[in-house]
Amino acid sequence: MTRLRRLFLMPVATLMFATVFVPLLIVAVYSILTRGAYGGVESPFTLENYSRLFDPLYGSIFLRSFWIAAIATALCLLLGFPLALFIARSGRRKNLYLSLVILPFWTSLLIRTYAWMFLLRDTGLINTVLQAIHVIREPLPMLYNEGAVILGLVYGFLPFTVLPLYATLERMDKTLLEAAADLGSTPWETTWRVTIPLCAPGIRAAAILVFVPCVGTYLTSDLLGGSKTILIGNLVQNQFTTARDWPFGAAASLVLMAVATLLLLAVGRRGEELV
Amino acid sequence: MKRLLAVYAVCAYAFLHIPLLILAGFSFNASKFTVWQGFSLDWYRAALADRDLIESAVNSLLIATVSTVLATIIGTLAAYALWKRSSRLFAGSMYLSLVTPEIVTGVSLLAFFQWVFRFMNLRLGLHTVILAHVSFSVAYVVVVIIARLRTFEPVLEEAALDLGATEFGAFRRVTLPYLAPAVAAAAMLAFTVSIDDYVITSLVAGVDSQTLPMVIYALARRGVNPMLNAVSTIVVVALGVIVLISERLRSA
């Protein structure tokens, strides 16, 4: 068996080595090199790229990214938990309700983000309607700000929260709920004092699974945040394209990667089974 | 409480689906502006006549097809091998590739390709995009196939071996047929993640390998355009059908 197994693992091992491991290694090396005169990389080795990340200008980008991701994650949990609870208790129709969450989960994030541009911009549907019924005279500036980015993230990642929360709720021992009810607890009390504490590990895992992509977002903040809401993802992209400062971009992406990995290690095995 | 949850669920589903329904609705609008002026298919005609859109859609389909075939084969073999005996190293690196922020995957692949090009006379193009897509979609395939293998009885394979099948024969004639629906489902998911990707693709694509999401992105950044609503509607409906079939196959 071991020979066949080794043969079967060969392609994936080659692929992972060449397209995951080596590229990350290159980025790690670039992050301690100096920017070249024409945008490439040059020796000598330096840690300056990392110390520049502490510059208030870039530090604020990091803080803003964490802050926005934290708010989006909190909102996702708050909105996602009741929905997961509803699906878990919906009996026969469960599969239909689940499909309605899975469908947007796999549909184009780009197009779903564009849908909000269509709704939020100055001549978008919401402003047009509000002006037509004379609620407002000037269009409300709803697009290109932090609020729009948070809305886009919640919209994009709500299904990410619902699915693991639903999986946790499904696994829960339901007799405990009956026990609580028998002992005189109201449904609200049971949810608050039995269901939620029992689901705490699942909630924690869901939070991290949403927080990580939110912190590293590029598309949502670029389309809905405009040029004013620069997040880590946009900083990295900019350094590798327009600014052509690869060493600095490499340092920023390694820090982002480190944050993501550390958080996900905290979910550990629990996260693996949720994927 | 049950009723309250149901009311809430209606609102939540409305939040998830109404923006897309509105987007699709306005793709049939006769006017260029966000004011309803009657039904029309003009924007669909405009989209189908747009050379950039068609060319990029052809690129996207080509990239998605090739990378799906490769990722499905590599991922299925890997899932089977890892099911035989798990490996923390492989499980870890799959997991890592699933959760690495897209932008980091994108720039690291870009840096990697540029580094390789120092030794080879190549440029960014369809091949680099395909390689990137195989790389990030393989983990999805592995996850789906392993889930199916968990319900497989290893005794069936042992029986085949006892009856004189080779190891590969047992895999090909006993295990693989059992996995067929999952393989199809995994391929469909790989296809959707490939055809949908913007962030990684835009970094590793060359001038001649613009994909549909790249053109959509450029149009979206320039502002709202009803033709884009039409394209979006086509993409969402097509992807939706694929995802629903894939879900069916997975739960079968």
CATH assignment at residue A227: 1.10.3720.10
Plot region of A79 (φ>0 → left; ψ -120 to 50 → alpha; else → beta): alpha
Same domain, residue pair B12 and B73: no
- A/B interface, count of CB pairs below 8 Å: 247
Same domain, residue pair B93 and B141: yes
B87 to chain A: closest CA residue: A9
Is A61 in the B-facing interface, judged by CB distances under 8 Å?
Answer: no
Tokens 């929260």 belong to A161
Q: Is residue A138 part of a domain?
A: yes
Picking from A106, A117, A119, the nearest residue to B22 by CB comes out as: A119
What is the value of pTM for the model shown? Answer: 0.90
pLDDT of residue A121: 86
Q: Is residue A226 part of a domain?
A: yes
Domain range enclosing B27 = 1-40
Picking from B75, B101, B229, the nearest residue to A216 by CB comes out as: B101
Tokens of A163: 């699915």
Q: Is residue A198 part of a domain?
A: yes
Q: Is residue B97 part of a domain?
A: yes
Q: Is residue A140 part of a domain?
A: yes
- Give the B window 3-42 contacts with A, CB below 8 Å: 5-6, 8-9, 12-13, 15-17, 19-20, 22-23, 26, 33-35
Domain range enclosing A63 = 55-239+261-274
Same domain, residue pair B16 and B121: no
A121-143 pLDDT, tens digit per residue, is 888 888 888 888 888 888 888 88
How many percent of chain B have pLDDT more than 90?
70
Any alpha helices (H) in chain A, and if so which ranges? 2-16, 22-30, 48-52, 56-88, 94-106, 109-120, 125-132, 146-171, 175-182, 187-190, 196-215, 219-225, 232-240, 246-267, 269-274
Q: Is residue A155 part of a domain?
A: yes
- pLDDT for residue A228 is more than 90: no
Same domain, residue pair B214 and B193: yes
- Domain count for chain B: 2
Same domain, residue pair B63 and B124: yes
pLDDT of residue A95: 86
Q: What's the pLDDT band for A85 if we cut at 50, 70, 90?
A: very high
Is A108 in the B-facing interface, judged by CB distances under 8 Å?
Answer: yes
DSSP codes, B104-140: HHHHHHHHHHHHHHTTS---SSHHHHHHHHHHHHHHH
Same domain, residue pair B78 and B198: yes
A24 to chain B: closest CA residue: B108
Q: Is residue B76 part of a domain?
A: yes
Picking from B221, B228, B232, the nearest residue to A223 by CB comes out as: B221
B127-146 pLDDT, tens digit per residue, is 999 999 999 999 999 999 99
Q: Is residue A244 part of a domain?
A: no
pLDDT of residue A208: 87
Same domain, residue pair B84 and B24: no
Distance from the B47 Cα atom to the nearest Cα atom in chain A, whole angstroms: 15
Q: Is residue A220 part of a domain?
A: yes
When scoring A110, A112, A232 by the number of chain B Cβ atoms within 10 A, the one with the most, hence best to mutate, is A110
Q: Do A218 and B20 touch (CB under 8 A)?
A: no
Choice among A31-40, A94-103, B158-167, B188-197 with the minimum mean pLDDT: A31-40
Same domain, residue pair B1 and B114: no
- pLDDT for residue A274 is more than 70: no
Picking from B73, B111, B167, the nearest residue to A30 by CB comes out as: B111
Same domain, residue pair B151 and B244: yes
Q: Is residue B45 part of a domain?
A: no
| A26-52 core/surface letters (b: 16 or more CB in 10 A; e: else) | bbeebbbbebeeeeebeeeeeeebbeb
pLDDT of residue A273: 47
Q: What is the CATH number of the domain that holds B185?
A: 1.10.3720.10
Distance from the B102 Cα atom to the nearest Cα atom in chain A, whole angstroms: 7
Q: Is residue A46 part of a domain?
A: no
- pLDDT for residue A272 is more than 60: no
- Domain count for chain A: 1
pLDDT of residue B174: 92
Same domain, residue pair B134 and B155: yes
Choice among A103-117, A232-246, B84-98 with the minimum mean pLDDT: B84-98
How many percent of chain A have pLDDT more than 90?
46
